[in-house]
């Protein structure tokens, strides 16, 4: 069956380019990170997790610390000879601000991770005068035992600031590209694609971060436009584990297939509180109306009535567990009757702040999900669907 594509172009004016203000203070950096949306996509498990930037920042830095402590001798992480206490990780039930609290914890900020030799202290040499010849002797250099060595200490706060600067560069570049290109193409895609950077590229301090495009399962088509609209940073990796899972008191009321985000289906898990933040931010920026089902510019969602239903004793799981975000064409096309209007009221969404929704197209996890090309990709073909884009040099 042939696939037809259509495209149109529009010119974005210079006035649309936002101004970026440098905020050097650490606490302000953490606040800014908290407001940045990030998608962590597991290319092996083929599932995504929408997280706030502070959580991703903490995960990146802790991964760096753990890897460095395993690869290199001399790590001072949790070394009580150099630190007053062990590093304080966030509690499992710490809530939506757990990462922010961990990053701001003073004992964590001061926690020494590395100690490296930097240089010697400035030497002060004694010069003796010869009473007979009145000539100066050669200055006496101190012995190696007398030299004062200067060591550079690297704290958790230092690592957070460095990693944040990388995320900030990625974010600024994405916004800059989106707002300064003179021509914008609106195309009907052939399949769901996600653009982003390698998680481990940041962890391993790679100087060049290559932007990649991953083509994923059809369920991804239900949410792929949200990261672009929100300028979310996407980080690819493997074996992230279950970033979100039901609370213990809820888990026993959910079918086994849904106790974690199903693997291999391209679903996106997003906490309710972050969905609400997307809506509030979009309203604040004047991009959507408060009492509408439009949660972000051009993206609509009307929660199904059984989105948070629990499963019964003999449940066959016929409820519509998975939600779908509907993308519309830009509003300026509405004059031609091309804009898709949605009914519904997002204000009626009463999800628990501690819960999460799954976004996709189908709740049937018993069948193999096919790609948008109507065929299942082999492992070799999946690897071939990852392409590279221009690299970003980080400071």
Q: What are phi and psi of 49, to 5 degrees?
A: -135, 125
Across residues 238-242, what is the average pLDDT?
A: 92
The pLDDT, as a whole number, for residue 343 is 47
Across the range 284-304, mean pLDDT stands at 89
**C-alpha distances out from residue 137 to 1, 124, 213, Å:** 93, 15, 69
Fill in the DSSP letter of residue 243.
S
Residue reference for tokens 């007053």: 84
- The more confident residue out of 153 and 74 is 153
Q: In whole angstroms, what is the distance from residue 225 CA to residue 223 CA?
A: 6
Asked which of 2-11, 99-108, 297-306 is least confident by mean pLDDT, the reply is 2-11
Q: In a 10 Å sphere around its CB, with 0-12 CB exposed, 13-18 middle and 19+ buried, how is residue 161 labelled?
A: middle
Confidence tier at 11 by pLDDT (50, 70, 90): very low
User: Any idea which residue has 């903490």 for tokens?
Assistant: 58
pLDDT band at 134 (very low <50, low <70, confident <90, very high): low
Least confident of 60-69, 96-105, 177-186, 312-321: 177-186
The CA distance from 122 to 127, in Å, is 16
Q: What percent of the chain has pLDDT over 90?
A: 37
Q: Which of 36-40, 85-89, 123-127, 338-342 has the lowest mean pLDDT?
A: 338-342
β-sheet bridge partners, residue 149: 120
Mean per-residue pLDDT of the chain = 76
Q: What is the CA radius of gyration of the chain?
A: 27
Q: In terms of DSSP bridges, do strands 47-52 and 37-42 run parallel, antiparallel, or are they unpaired?
A: antiparallel
In the predicted model, what is the mean pLDDT of residues 20-32?
A: 77
Better-scored residue on pLDDT, 264 or 250: 264
Is the Cβ–Cβ distance between 170 and 208 less than 8 Å? no
Residue 157: the pLDDT is 96
Over the stretch 169-220, which tens digit does the pLDDT of each residue have? Answer: 999 888 887 777 544 444 444 457 888 999 999 999 888 888 888 887 678 8
Q: Provide the phi-psi class of 7: left if phi over 0, else alpha when psi is between -120 and 50, else beta.
A: beta
Cβ neighbors of 129 (< 8 A, separation 6 or more) are 135, 136, 137
Alpha helices in the chain (DSSP H): 26-34, 53-71, 98-104, 106-110, 156-180, 199-203, 225-229, 248-251, 272-284, 379-384
In this structure, what DSSP letter does residue 220 have?
G
b/e per residue 102-123 (b: at least 16 CB within 10 A): bbbbeebeebbbbeeeeeeeee
Q: Is the pLDDT of residue 263 over 70?
A: yes
pLDDT the model gives residue 43 = 92
Average pLDDT estimate for 16-33: 72
Q: Is 286 left (phi over 0), alpha (psi -120 to 50) or beta?
A: left
pLDDT for position 85: 95
Residue 257, burial from CB neighbour count under 10 angstroms (0-12, 13-18, 19+): middle
Count of helix runs (H) and strand runs (E) in the chain: 10, 16
Q: Looking at residue 291, what is its pLDDT?
A: 86
User: Which residue matches tokens 């203000």?
Assistant: 21
pLDDT reading at 232 higher than 80: yes
User: How many CB atoms neighbour CB 195 within 10 A?
Assistant: 16
Q: Model-level pTM?
A: 0.78
Quick check: 105 and 97 in contact, CB under 8 A? no
Angle between helices 156-180 and 53-71 in degrees, nearest 10: 130
Q: Using CA atoms, how far apart are residues 235 and 170, in angstroms rounded to an integer?
A: 11
Torsion, Cα of 287, 292, 298, 302 (10° steps):
150
Kindly report the number of other CB atoms within 10 A of residue 214's CB atom: 19
Condensed to tens digits (0 to 9), the pLDDT of residues 348-383 reads: 555 556 788 899 888 777 665 544 333 333 344 333
pLDDT of residue 395: 64
d(CA 267, CA 194): 13
* Confidence (pLDDT) at 336: 43
CA distance 321 to 369: 16
- Per-residue confidence at 27, pLDDT binned at 50, 70, 90? very high
pLDDT recorded at residue 102: 96
Tokens of 391: 């690299």
Write out pLDDT tens, residues 73-128.
Answer: 788 999 999 999 999 999 887 888 999 999 999 999 999 999 988 888 876 666 66
């Amino acid at each position: 069956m042939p696939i037809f594509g259509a495209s149109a172009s529009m010119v974005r004016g210079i006035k649309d380019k936002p101004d970026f203000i440098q905020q050097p203070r650490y606490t302000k950096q953490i606040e800014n990170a908290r407001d940045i949306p990030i998608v962590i996509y597991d290319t092996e498990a083929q599932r995504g997790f929408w997280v706030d930037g502070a959580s991703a920042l903490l995960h990146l830095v802790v991964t760096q610390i753990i890897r460095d402590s395993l690869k290199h001798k001399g790590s001072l992480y949790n070394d009580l000879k150099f630190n007053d206490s062990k590093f304080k990780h966030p509690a499992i039930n710490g809530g939506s601000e757990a990462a922010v609290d961990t990053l701001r914890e003073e004992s964590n900020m001061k926690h020494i991770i590395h100690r490296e030799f930097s240089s010697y202290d400035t030497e002060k040499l004694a010069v003796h005068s010869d009473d007979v010849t009145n000539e100066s002797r050669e200055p006496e250099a101190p012995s190696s035992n007398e030299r004062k060595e200067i060591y550079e200490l690297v704290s958790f706060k230092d690592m957070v600031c460095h990693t944040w600067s990388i995320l900030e560069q990625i974010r600024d570049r994405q916004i800059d590209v989106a707002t300064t290109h003179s021509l914008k193409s609106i195309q009907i895609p052939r399949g769901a694609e996600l653009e982003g950077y390698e998680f481990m590229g940041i962890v391993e301090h790679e100087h060049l971060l290559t932007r990649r495009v991953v083509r994923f399962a059809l369920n991804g088509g239900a949410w792929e436009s949200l990261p672009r609209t929100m300028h979310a940073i996407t980080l690819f990796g493997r074996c992230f584990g279950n970033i979100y899972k039901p609370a213990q008191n809820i888990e026993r009321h959910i079918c086994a297939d849904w106790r974690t985000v199903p693997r291999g289906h391209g679903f996106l898990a997003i906490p309710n509180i972050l969905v609400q933040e997307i809506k509030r931010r979009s309203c604040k920026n004047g991009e959507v109306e408060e009492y509408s089902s439009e949660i972000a510019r051009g993206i609509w969602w009307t929660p199904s009535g059984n989105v948070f239903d629990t499963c019964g004793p003999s449940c066959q799981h016929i409820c519509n567990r998975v939600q779908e975000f509907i993308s519309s064409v830009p509003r300026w096309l509405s004059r031609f009757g091309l804009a898709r209007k949605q009914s519904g009221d997002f204000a009626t969404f009463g999800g628990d702040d501690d819960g999460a929704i799954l976004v996709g197209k189908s709740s049937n996890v018993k069948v193999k999900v096919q790609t948008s090309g109507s065929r299942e990709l082999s492992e070799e073909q999946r690897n071939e669907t990852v392409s590279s884009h221009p690299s970003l040099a980080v400071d």
